[in-house]
Amino acid sequence: MTNTAETVWTNCLSFIEDNITQQAYKTWFEPIKAVKLTDNALNIQVPSKFFYEWLEEHYVKLLKVALTKELGATAKLVYVIRMENTYGNKQPFTERIPSSNRSNSTSSQNVNVPLKSKSPELKNPFIIPGIRNVKIESQLNPNYNFENYLEGESNRLARSAGIAVANKPGGTSFNPLLIFGGVGLGKTHLAHAIGVDVKDKYPEKTVLYISAEKFVQQYSESVKKNNRNDFIHFYQVIDVLIVDDIQLLSGKAGTQDVFFHIFNHLHQNGKQVILTSDKAPVDMIDIEQRLLSRFKWGLSAELNHPDYETRVAIIKNKLYRDGVEMPDDIVEFLANNIKTNIRELEGAIISLIAHSSFNKKEITIDLAKKIVDNYVKHTKREVSIDYIQKVVSDYFQMDVETLQSKTRKRHIVQARQLAMFFAKKFTKASLASIGSQIGQRDHATVLHACKTVDNLSSTDKQFRKYVEDLQKKLTI
Ligand code: ADP
Ligand code: MG
């Protein structure tokens, strides 16, 4: 049987659907049509350039995984943008041209792949800086720059420190520069912006952005493959090392140890280290004291919730960049209703634009209200069973496999029962489905777990504390 564009795409879709929210799937994937498959390149048609950019920015990894599963490592993806206003014109209009000379080019381009693109200006999320790589890709996202990182009271210190560091990496007293603050407040953006600016000013410097999560993974790989030293050397040649979300090193003693050595080496050699965290150093748990004290050597700068003016400015800037107009009262409405998370603010704008453009509706206050309601509620409720298991196992300092295992050790059984209890409480999943996701148990086990947790929390003080702590962690 031969693969047709349609069957390949249908298979990709079912994989994608399982991996994102229903809302996102409906908005971003249902409108796509597969048009042809030649030379292992799948051509998909998307409704607009905006749409394409959104896919590229948010779903490129997922698309790549889905496509590679279907077509193997040589898979390519070509976007065909349905031209607005030029009826019947099927000229492909795709990316990878700098925006200044974007035009109705007749050549279509491959987007995700080839996976080993050499061209340095292309952002290629698939080259993870491997050990022994000669040239280190900085993994920076050029869209996260200072130009579109708006300044406000809430970020002034962090932003100026970032600029100072970018001007003189390793040469200020802000070393390390630790940026901390809650979710969606701009840590990752700022961290990239510093890196992008350094690269601009000092192209010869080796800059590397890495999430702590990936760092942990790489480290454990290196231990498995017995090349821990190569791993360390790789990091020691970097001039500006940016590690995002270092709170994720918590509880990982081996990785902390190796990071400690890398940090010392870089610091002693006048190299710059930039870190982000969702907590202030004093609040970090399960991070070794000697590492924590290093974090405090330089400057810790907090990102706070943006004030009203900053929120309005951020919305307007985003609209301006997307070339969308929106009445002021709606901008104000959004700024008044989404206050604590810039990512949510952006999400609501995008949803609003998407809804209005797909349904050909005008952007009205009513539509905005609906979206804010859905959006804000939606993100608050977005607790998955996986997430619950992760939170519970972190809390009891075990890994998820242990929590799911068949063991009858009391503390593990309790952790598992708590995970089931919260899955029942915070998700709409059935008892059977909760059971099957938490270590392949049946619905009766889940029911029993829920009852046990209820009983224990009214009779056992320590246990009640567990429930309360976890409840807090899951609802913020
Ligand atoms: P964090 O890493 O703190 O969770 P991000 O850096 O991912 O947050 O920011 C969330 C979103 O908000 C990003 O799309 C980012 O571009 C945007 N954002 C955050 N701060 C600003 C700002 N000061 N100006 C413009 N956009 C911002
Ligand atoms: Mg982040």
Neighbours of 430 (CB within 10 A): 12
What is the predicted pLDDT for the residue at 359? 72
Encoded tokens for 109? 């381009």
Residue with tokens 């990936």: 214
The model's pLDDT over 431-459, given as tens digits with 9 standing for 90+, comes to 888 999 999 999 999 999 999 999 999 99
User: What's the Cα-to-Cα distance from 10 to each of 15, 144, 314, 450, rounded to whole Å?
Assistant: 9, 33, 37, 39
299-303: strand order across its sheet:
207-211, 240-244, 272-277, 177-181, 299-303
Specify the higher pLDDT residue, 2 or 118: 2
Ligand number with the minimum distance to the CA of 346: 1
User: What's the Cα-to-Cα distance from 423 to each of 353, 398, 407, 434, 436, rounded to whole Å?
Assistant: 33, 18, 20, 7, 12
Mean pLDDT (the chain, rounded): 84
The model's pLDDT over 205-215, given as tens digits with 9 standing for 90+, comes to 999 999 999 99
What is the predicted pLDDT for the residue at 37? 92
* Residue 103: burial class (beta carbons within 10 Å; 0-12, 13-18, 19+): exposed
The model's pLDDT over 180-210, given as tens digits with 9 standing for 90+, comes to 999 999 999 999 999 999 999 999 999 999 9
Interval between CA 180 and ligand 2 midpoint (Å): 10
Phi/psi at 344 (nearest 5 deg)?
A: -65, -40
Out of 48-52, 176-180, 422-426, 460-464, pick the least confident: 48-52
Test site for ligand 1: of 146, 312, 342, most ligand atoms within 8 A of the Cβ:
342
Say if ligand 1 is within 6 A of residue 320 CB.
Answer: no
| Strand, coil or helix: 294 | helix
What is the predicted pLDDT for the residue at 357? 75
pLDDT (average), residues 124-133? 34
The helix (run of H) or strand (run of E) holding residue 242 is strand 240-244
For residue 149, pLDDT beyond 80: yes
Q: How far apart are CA 414 and CA 403, in angstroms?
A: 9
Distance of CA 389 to the CA centre of its chain: 19
* Domains of the chain, first to last: 5-108 (3.30.300.180), 136-303 (3.40.50.300), 308-376 (1.10.8.60), 385-474 (1.10.1750.10)
Interval between CA 152 and ligand 1 midpoint (Å): 13
What is the predicted pLDDT for the residue at 126? 31
Residue with tokens 């050499």: 118
Neighbours of 35 (CB within 10 A): 16
Out of 124-133, 234-243, 397-406, pick the least confident: 124-133
The model's pLDDT over 330-355, given as tens digits with 9 standing for 90+, comes to 999 999 889 889 998 998 898 888 88
Say if ligand 1 is within 6 A of residue 186 CB.
Answer: yes
Say if ligand 1 is within 6 A of residue 184 CB.
Answer: yes
pLDDT (average), residues 10-30? 87
Ligand number with the minimum distance to the CA of 347: 1
Out of 2-6, 398-402, 423-427, 459-463, pick the least confident: 2-6
User: What's the Cα-to-Cα distance from 372 to each of 330, 331, 435, rounded to whole Å?
Assistant: 11, 12, 33
The confidence band for 412, taking pLDDT boundaries of 50, 70 and 90, is: very high
Q: b/e map of 210-234 (b: 16 or more CB within 10 Å)?
A: bbbebbbebbeebeeeeebeebbeb
Q: How far apart are CA 238 and CA 207, in angstroms?
A: 6
Interval between CA 245 and ligand 2 midpoint (Å): 7
Strand partners, 58: none
Interval between CA 188 and ligand 1 midpoint (Å): 7
Strands 76-81 and 41-46: parallel
The model's pLDDT over 77-89, given as tens digits with 9 standing for 90+, comes to 888 876 543 333 3
